[in-house]
Structure 1
Amino acid sequence: MELQQLRYVVAVAETMNFTRAAERCRVVQSALSHQIAALERELGARLFERTSRRVRLTAAGEAFLPAARECLEAADRARAEVAAAGGEILGRLAVGAIPTVTALDLPVELREFRRRHPRVRITLTSAGSDPLIERVRQGAMDVAFLGLPPRTEPKGVRSRRLGGGELVAVVAPDHPRTEREADLRSLADEPFIDFRAGAAGRVQSDEAFAAAGVRREVPFEVSSADFMVDLVRQGLGVGMLPAAYAPRFPDLRVIRLRDAPTRVEHLIWHDPPSPAAKAFLDQIGGDRREEGPAAV
């Protein structure tokens, strides 16, 4: 069993197409098919079922795929560790971030990291805090930037707080409300546009309204801040954004809140970090020596 064979299996499993898998691996399709067939003979089981219309994993293929990925990741990690011992950073850096990160300028940090370590493969995924925590915990992602309610700590990962801030209400330019400052109770009769119930970005607002003894209606639930802003622009409701993020939308009117919801931004990382992740943490000041053990 060879690592190249494992790469071919993973490529076919991810594309469900032998031709596209061969293109990804930069080999001719016949060579890829031959190597997979040789691996199947060695294993004594078919990994894929092929018809003229589709390719799919067999039960054996489903069982084999996670182990194949683990082997490839271990091999990549070993190469990166050897290179790091010689002073060179290789491998991958998989970064996750909520769209409303304000504690640092993430695009600038990624540009600087690529300048310093051009042989590292960088990927970035934007998502909510909860799925990002899970992906880092599982090792599918190296580091992530979150926004959580003040009393919430990420579990099962290394973490450090980057800073906190208040949320503000945002309304359409022609909204009838004209005040620049208000409290949550005065907004209770407005329809709200917010993240789905239970999401970290929603909890911080719900907790603040509950503390104020106010019930509000959220008829519009969204999955991104940009979509929230689009709906606010149409006058469909009031949105809630971090105060440091709202200036990105100068056409919206901002209402400061005397009893504003707050959130805390966190940097989290998988432990132990890869050489590339260590270098990134050092760059942004996320030295592990400042941290306690991972929460469980």
Structure 2
Amino acid sequence: MDLDAVRTFVSAADAGRFQEAAAELGVTQQAVSKRIAALERDLAVRLFTRTPRGAELTIDGQAFLPHARELLRVAQRAAASVQAGRRPLRVDVITSRGAGSGLMRAFHQAHPDIELDVVTLFEIDAAVAAIRSGTIDASFRAVGAPGHPLPEDIVSARVADETLHLLTGPKHALAGARSVTLDQLVGHRIWMPGIAPGTEWAAYYDDLVAEFGLTIEATGPNFGSDALLDTVADTPALATFMGEHARLVWPTAHGLRRIPVTGPTPVYPHSLVWHRDNPHPALPVLRAHLATAAPAPNAPGTWIPQWAGRG
């Protein structure tokens, strides 16, 4: 059913004259007559009777009018549901316990009037596809990893460099250290079962291993952060890396230690990724908010992979 014809019918019914409906709609009286005639053909009924005073609804027209109004209301709600600015800003944070989630919480606190829809997508290629399709508006990612170039219509800006800490149990050989250098980690087993081949974080840790000769193991099933913390707490030979902004809670009895890493300090580069033509009015607000705390690239004493240098 042609919504323009339905809209014309409602306008004519309210005005009582085709000429006034035409003026309201900004079309000719002939166009109004054609639209009404087409709607009557679709419905196989007469909707109006012409009288000296104008146009009066027939019994069928009176019956159709409330449904026509509802059709227009439904169409308006359907359009509003996908119009930028009338729906939440949708942002992928990868994981609810990571830096991206923390950045979005801070944004929400600063801009509580902006409605948000926070989602978690696993792979960067899936996130980019969702950005291009309009399913999401932005994503927090480490960009530039080999095999995952951003398409020309996708842009990014570095918004946070997250320092990595070493996490050990109380009986680990380095548990008492106030800080450790990357050279001191050579020969120690660093267990990170959440590293999935092909991801940007796998590329990050592959480069870290290659450059500093570390031993990072991703063996065994990934039962989540709670199981990882339990194992590290109980196994003196294992340690793991954890971002400084990771929001994890463990039992006091675990005795886990967070130890700064230096010489240089490895940082994980988080970038906001979005489509260059995204029209959502809240996206520039988010970008401006993140830009106020964006890191200076390649800060002295820090390390990132070469492919992440322009992310």
Task: Give the TM-score band, short-chain normalised.
Answer: 0.5 to 0.7
Distance in 1 between residues matched to 2:184 and 2:201, nearest whole Å:
20
Distance in 2 between residues matched to 1:210 and 1:241, nearest whole Å:
19
Q: Does 2:158 match 1:168?
A: no
Other-structure match for 1:199: 199
Distance in 1 between residues matched to 2:2 and 2:108, nearest whole Å:
34
Distance in 2 between residues matched to 1:219 and 1:282, nearest whole Å:
37
Alignment of 1:258-277 (within 5 A): 258-277=263-282
Query: What is the TM-score when the length of structure 2 is the normalising length?
Result: 0.52
Larger Rg: 2
Other-structure match for 1:182: 181
Out of 68, 80, 83, the residue aligned to residue 80 of structure 1 is: 83
Does the 8 A contact of 1:163 with 1:264 survive in 2? yes
- TM-superposed CA distance for 1:127, in Å, is 3.5
Q: Does 2:124 match 1:126?
A: no
- TM-superposed CA distance for 1:102, in Å, is 6.2
More off after superposition, 179-188 vs 257-266:
179-188
Does the 8 A contact of 2:93 with 2:101 survive in 1? no
Tell me the SS of whatever aligns to 2:269. Answer: strand
Other-structure match for 1:143: 138
- TM-superposed CA distance for 1:213, in Å, is 3.4
Other-structure match for 2:86: 90
Other-structure match for 1:34: none
- TM-superposed CA distance for 1:244, in Å, is 4.2
Other-structure match for 1:219: 219
Tell me the SS of whatever aligns to 1:219. Answer: coil
Which structure 1 segments of 5+ residues have no match?
4-71, 82-88, 288-294
Distance in 2 between residues matched to 1:261 and 1:285, nearest whole Å:
21
Out of 256, 260, 271, the residue aligned to residue 252 of structure 1 is: 256
Does the 8 A contact of 1:91 with 1:276 survive in 2? no
Distance in 1 between residues matched to 2:160 and 2:144, nearest whole Å:
12
Q: Deviations over 1:169-208 (max 9, x none)?
A: 2112333433331325634342512422332223222211
More off after superposition, 137-146 vs 231-240:
231-240
Q: Deviations over 1:93-119 (max 9, x none)?
A: 211113321696322323544x324xx
Identity %: 16
Distance in 2 between residues matched to 1:106 and 1:97, nearest whole Å:
8
Distance 1:176 1:107, change over 3 A: same
Distance 1:217 1:90, change over 3 A: closer
Q: Deviations over 1:241-289 (max 9, x none)?
A: 12344787685212333344332110112332233443543562569xx
Distance in 2 between residues matched to 1:213 and 1:110, nearest whole Å:
41
Distance 1:246 1:141, change over 3 A: closer
Does the 8 A contact of 1:169 with 1:240 survive in 2? yes
Does the 8 A contact of 2:159 with 2:291 survive in 1? no
- How many residues of Structure 1 are paired with residues of Structure 2 in the alignment? 208
- TM-superposed CA distance for 1:210, in Å, is 0.5
Distance in 2 between residues matched to 1:133 and 1:227, nearest whole Å:
30
Does the 8 A contact of 2:91 with 2:139 survive in 1? yes
Other-structure match for 1:51: none
Tell me the SS of whatever aligns to 1:207. Answer: helix
Other-structure match for 2:42: none
